[in-house]
């Protein structure tokens, strides 16, 4: 079985001497031709913050290394504020900023030096630049100087925004601020899950116009895009289901739809996704007719399926969820686990061969670490709060 300490040892190899973390290849070495990317640095900082909460040796220094890079490294835009997408990309994306908030929140909870300063700055940027109070959701992307906002809107960035707001609420000291952040997370989840997904028989649209009109044909010509794929993204349905349960655990007077909607979204992903093409596992995406579009198996999709099943088992006590978590985890250990690195292959063909159609190498440890850490733990707003 995949071991957390082995995974952390693998992840530690992403440390860059000049600050931050790099993108790991299949051999566990940083790919030299990749720029430094904000989402990688922030997610690794979050993982090492979680590891420090568990008392893992060396994790404190690695988390502090990441916090320092996000506060003062080349990705941080001292002139205009916020964080560039990478050292090669000046755009300011909600997806990357959500992970910076998450990194700051986990570092704050774990008492990592600079964590609170990072959280405060990242939250301020999120609220001022990305949060659209009228829509109850986040806009997608700005240029470097914050002068032009892209017309595209996306559910993926908002999903990670919900995760980030829940983690930030668990990390801040002020109860009123925590309630406000959880309220924002609830409103976004209500629009996406209780609105668009429920209205479409649990087929979650991902892509929207600036007025939040769904774009069902978006990226039909680029269906395997790593962040904006065409169609129904199975793994995101599992993630949204799990986040609805984290919300239910912490909001005041949680609305009654949170649990049944989580179950509906989870069951749809599980029943429509598993072996949809006749091969065990979950395809990356399905069409609106339920047929596979991109059949590649992504490690993160299986990780999120296992994590959602484990959280549902904890919340409901129903044995079927525990059994699904167990059987899917065993499938992952047989197919995805890489004993050479201690991590999982990030992409496989439907019949289990290592593939690189969407993802090269084994970039980071975020999904797999959270899958390992959520199993059997109490459900809180964030993983960090459950460990604390």
Q: Which residues contact 55 (CB under 8 A, 6 or more apart)?
A: none
**C-alpha distance from residue 235 to each of 52, 54, 229, 239, 255 (Å):** 28, 27, 12, 6, 24
**Rg of the Cα trace of the chain?**
19
Q: What is the pTM of this model?
A: 0.98
pLDDT value of residue 209: 98
Q: What per-residue confidence (pLDDT) applies to 171?
A: 98
d(CA 199, CA 186): 18
Give the model confidence (pLDDT) of 357-378 as tens digits.
999 999 999 999 999 999 999 9
Per-residue model confidence as pLDDT tens for the chain (388 residues): 999 999 999 999 999 999 999 999 999 999 999 999 999 999 999 999 999 999 999 999 999 999 999 999 999 999 999 999 999 999 999 999 999 999 999 999 999 999 999 999 999 999 999 999 999 999 999 999 999 999 999 999 999 999 999 999 999 999 999 999 999 999 999 999 999 999 999 999 999 999 999 999 999 999 999 999 999 999 999 999 999 999 999 999 999 999 999 999 999 999 999 999 999 999 999 999 999 999 999 999 999 999 999 999 999 999 999 999 999 999 999 999 999 999 999 999 999 999 999 999 999 999 999 999 999 999 999 999 999 9
DSSP reduced 3-state for 52:
helix
3-state helix, strand, coil in the chain (%, to 5): 50, 10, 40
pLDDT at 232: 98
Q: Tally Cβ neighbours within 10 Å of residue 82.
A: 24
Q: Which residues are catalytic?
A: 236, 367
Provide the pLDDT for residue 293. 98
Comparing CA positions, the residue from 110, 87, 83, 114 lying closest to residue 99 is 83
Give dist(CA 359, CA 249) in Å, integer.
34
In the chain the first and final C-alpha atoms are separated, in Å, by 25
Burial class (CB within 10 angstroms; exposed 0-12, middle 13-18, buried 19+) of 319 = exposed
Our CA angle for 239, 27, 30, nearest 5°, is: 75
Which of 204, 95, 101 lies closest to 156, judged by CA? 95
> Taking the C-alpha atoms of 130, 383, 42 and 177 in order, what is their torsion angle to the nearest 10 degrees?
40
* Half-sphere CA count of 293, side-chain side, radius 13 A: 21
- Bridge partners (DSSP) of residue 298 are 347
Q: What digits encode the pLDDT tens for the residues 98-131?
A: 999 999 999 999 999 999 999 999 999 999 999 9
**Cβ-proximal residues to 295 (8 Å cutoff; 6+ apart), any chain:** 277, 279, 283, 284, 349, 350
According to the model, what pLDDT value does residue 176 have?
A: 98
pLDDT the model gives residue 255: 98
| φ/ψ of residue 347, rounded to 5 | -150, 135
Instruction: Quote the CA–CA distance of 238 and 144 in Å, as a whole number.
Output: 33
**What contacts 2, CB < 8 A, 6 or more positions away?**
332, 333, 337, 342, 343, 344, 368, 372
DSSP single-letter state for residue 154:
E
Give exposure, 2-34, as e/b (b: 16+ Cβ within 10 Å): bebeebbbbbbebbeeebbbbbbbbebebeeeb
For the chain, the residue count is 388
Q: Which CATH number fits domain 4-387: 1.10.8.10, 1.10.645.10, 3.10.20.580, 1.50.10.10?
A: 1.50.10.10
Position 340 scores a pLDDT of 95
What whole-number distance in Å separates Cα of residue 170 and Cα of residue 50? 14
pLDDT attached to residue 158: 98
Question: Which pLDDT score is estimated for 233?
Answer: 98
What is the SS3 assignment for 132?
strand
Question: Contact, 79 vs 139, CB < 8 A?
Answer: no
């Amino acid at each position: 079985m995949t071991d957390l300490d082995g995974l952390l040892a693998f992840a530690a190899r992403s440390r860059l001497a000049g600050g931050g973390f790099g993108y790991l290849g299949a051999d566990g070495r940083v790919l030299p031709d990749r720029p430094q990317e904000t989402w990688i640095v922030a997610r690794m900082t979050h993982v090492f913050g979680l590891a420090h909460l568990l008392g893992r040796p060396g994790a404190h220094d690695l988390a502090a290394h990441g916090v320092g890079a996000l506060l003062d490294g080349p990705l941080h835009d001292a002139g205009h504020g916020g964080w560039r997408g990478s050292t090669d990309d000046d755009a300011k994306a909600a997806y990357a900023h959500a992970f910076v908030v998450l990194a700051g929140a986990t570092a704050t909870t774990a008492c990592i030096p600079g964590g609170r300063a990072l959280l405060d700055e990242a939250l301020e940027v999120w609220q001022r630049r990305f949060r659209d109070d009228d829509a109850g959701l986040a806009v997608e992307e700005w240029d470097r100087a914050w002068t032009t906002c892209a017309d595209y809107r996306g559910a993926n960035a908002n999903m990670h925004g919900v995760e980030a707001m829940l983690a930030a609420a668990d990390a801040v000291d002020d109860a009123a601020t925590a309630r406000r952040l959880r309220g924002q997370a609830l409103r976004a989840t209500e629009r996406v899950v209780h609105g668009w997904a429920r209205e479409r028989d649990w087929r979650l649209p991902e892509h929207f116009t600036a007025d939040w009109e769904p774009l069902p044909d978006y990226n039909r010509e680029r269906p395997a895009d790593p962040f904006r794929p065409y169609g129904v993204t199975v793994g995101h349905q599992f993630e949204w289901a799990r986040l609805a349960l984290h919300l239910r655990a912490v909001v005041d007077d949680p609305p009654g739809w949170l649990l049944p909607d989580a179950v509906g979204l989870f069951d749809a992903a599980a029943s429509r996704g598993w072996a949809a093409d006749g091969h065990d596992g979950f395809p990356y995406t399905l069409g609106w007719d339920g047929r596979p579009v991109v059949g590649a198996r992504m490690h993160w999709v299986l990780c999120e399926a296992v994590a959602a099943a484990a959280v549902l088992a904890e919340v409901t006590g129903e044995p079927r969820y525990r059994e699904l978590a167990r059987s899917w985890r065993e499938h992952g250990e047989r197919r995805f686990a890489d004993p050479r690195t201690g991590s999982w292959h990030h992409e496989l063909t439907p019949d289990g061969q290592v593939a690189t159609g969407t993802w090269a190498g084994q970039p980071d440890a975020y999904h797999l670490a959270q899958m390992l850490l959520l199993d059997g733990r109490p459900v809180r707003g964030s993983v960090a709060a459950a460990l604390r």
